[in-house]
């Protein structure tokens, strides 16, 4: 006798900046099942600003032309009330890039306004269980602004992305040690997704041994590895003439997938709301080591030993986040 199981309800995913480079590398992986699984239908709400709507139409046509069996619907909109309606996930990829003559503070204010609007729309139109991952830079502070603008959504449902930095760091260590990247585990990137981030090589493992017992060159670890990871986004821009896109999209897939399934044998770097763990300032969205339990609930791993050197690096990155918050919240009239 054949047994039939009822089809699963589609997961509805909003993606902002959907016609941009990261969007173009991301949407096809969501629609093909890489993010939510090979038997999980998905509906895509593609959000763009008005000038992006024409290229977005082309992206939607290409999604049609893939005939993805899991893709049940594609919505194209520049209206946040439509784009975030009933979504399970909001992937906030779009943001205004820094242009010539712009100060970092200008960018915080300009993007801040966008994330206030998106946070409000998520608050009003998304499912209460929505989870929000911010990729658009400065992603930690943008996520904090969206979170503050969405008081009906629990703070624990807002995330910003440092998985790209974790992946970059793992590859740097693997290449130095001459091992496959899968042998590098327990590598947490702490702090801000900016050059001040701290990739913690002291607690990382290579083939289950301490990375520092495999790579003995401490000056390489401190003076080459740490800045290489921190500056990798800039190096990609210099080499490609454009910001990372496929690797960023890949890290979005990794982040969401690993927030949805129980963590086995590793930790992952995700920027989450801090409750003061490891001395990080409470109330910031900062990168911390995360594990997910069998019920799909994430927690900060609590038993990592940090050296004084690591603590200093992490504190400096969080100091930068405090400053970003001060500037952005000041410009936007938000209260801490």
Cis peptide before 138 (omega within 30 of 0): yes
The one catalytic residue among 12, 85, 193, 205? 193
Q: Minimum Å distance from CB 195 to ligand LMR?
A: 8
Q: Minimum Å distance from CB 244 to ligand LMR?
A: 4
Provide φ and ψ at 221, rounded to 5°. -60, -45
Ramachandran region, residue 272 (left: φ > 0; alpha: ψ -120 to 50; beta: rest): beta
Residue of minimal CB distance from ligand LMR? 233
Residues 99-138 that bind ligand LMR (CB under 6 A): 137
Residue of 233, 268, 274, 286 interacting with ligand LMR (CB under 6 A): 233
Residue of 25, 44, 46, 164 interacting with ligand LMR (CB under 6 A): 164
Residues 131-150 that bind ligand LMR (CB under 6 A): 137
Report the residue number, 204 or 248, with the smaller CB distance to ligand LMR: 248
CB atoms within 10 A of CB 43: 20
CB atoms within 10 A of CB 215: 18
Catalytic site residue 34?
Answer: no
* First and final C-alpha spacing in the chain: 61
Choices 122-130, 228-236, 260-268, 309-317 (CB under 6 A): range interacting with ligand LMR: 228-236
**Cα 6 → chain centroid:** 32
Q: Minimum Å distance from CB 165 to ligand LMR?
A: 7
Nearest to 92 by CA among 35, 161, 42: 161
| Contact call for residue 243 and ligand LMR (CB under 6 A) | yes
Report the residue number, 80 or 137, with the smaller CB distance to ligand LMR: 137
- Angle among Cα 250, 253, 258 to the nearest 5 degrees reads 125
Residue 188 near residue 267, CB atoms below 8 Å: yes
Which residues are identified as catalytic?
A: 193
Which residues lie near ligand LMR (CB under 6 A)? 137, 164, 233-234, 236, 243-244, 248
């Amino acid at each position: 006798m054949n047994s039939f199981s009822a089809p699963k309800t589609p997961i509805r995913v909003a993606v902002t900046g959907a016609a941009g480079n990261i969007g173009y590398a991301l949407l096809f992986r969501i629609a093909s099942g890489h993010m939510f699984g090979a038997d999980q239908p998905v509906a895509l709400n593609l959000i763009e600003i008005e000038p992006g709507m024409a290229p977005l139409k082309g992206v939607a046509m290409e999604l049609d032309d893939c005939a993805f069996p899991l893709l049940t619907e594609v919505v194209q909109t520049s209206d946040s009330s439509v784009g975030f309606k009933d979504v399970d996930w909001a992937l906030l990829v779009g943001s205004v890039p820094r242009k010539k003559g712009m100060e970092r503070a200008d960018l915080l204010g300009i993007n801040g306004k966008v994330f206030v609007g998106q946070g409000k729309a998520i608050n009003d139109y998304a499912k209460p269980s929505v989870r929000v991952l911010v990729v658009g830079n400065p992603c930690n502070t943008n996520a904090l602004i969206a979170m503050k603008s969405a008081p009906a959504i629990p703070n624990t449902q807002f995330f910003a992305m440092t998985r790209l930095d974790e992946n970059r760091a793992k590859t740097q260590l693997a290449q130095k040690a001459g091992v496959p990247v899968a042998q590098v585990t327990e590598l947490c990137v702490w702090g801000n997704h900016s050059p001040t981030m701290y990739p913690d090589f002291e607690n990382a493992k290579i083939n289950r041994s301490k990375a520092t017992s495999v790579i003995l060159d401490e000056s390489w670890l401190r003076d080459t590895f740490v800045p290489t990871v921190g500056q990798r986004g800039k190096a990609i821009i210099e080499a490609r003439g454009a910001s990372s896109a496929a690797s960023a999209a890949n890290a979005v897939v990794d982040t969401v997938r690993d927030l949805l399934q129980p963590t086995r044998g590793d930790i992952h770097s995700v920027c989450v709301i801090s409750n003061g763990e490891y001395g990080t300032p409470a109330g910031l969205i900062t990168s911390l080591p995360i594990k997910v339990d069998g019920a799909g609930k994430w927690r900060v791993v609590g038993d990592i030993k940090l050296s004084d050197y690591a603590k200093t690096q992490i504190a400096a990155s969080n100091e930068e986040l405090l400053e970003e918050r001060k500037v952005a919240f000041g410009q936007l009239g938000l209260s801490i």
